[in-house]
Amino acid sequence: MPDFELSSHAKDMLRERKIAEEWVWRVVEAPVSKKKGKDGNMHYTKPIKERDGRILHVVINPDLVPQRIVTVFFDRRLKNR
């Protein structure tokens, strides 16, 4: 598995949005969905049971070494599956 690091923005979003860093690693290690976006970034999603199954969306820049987690948020556009 490639190495990943959190950007300063992603760290800020974890604090502001009360997202556990462990949840981010859970999504990265075993995403339900993994797609390349129009922005060139990889978009990983997975429901988080501790947050009533809400979908955590992790955006990763795959062109950097280590790959950089750009941002993280609960995606209201995606419904629980």
Instruction: Domain ranges for the chain, please list them.
Output: 4-74
Q: What are phi and psi of 52, to 5 degrees?
A: 60, 30
The model's pTM: 0.92
Q: What is the CA radius of gyration of the chain?
A: 12
The mean pLDDT value of the chain amounts to 93
Instruction: Please state, in angstroms and rounded to a whole number, the distance separating the CA atoms of residues 55 and 47.
Output: 4
With bands split at pLDDT 50, 70 and 90, how would you rate the model's confidence at 1? very low
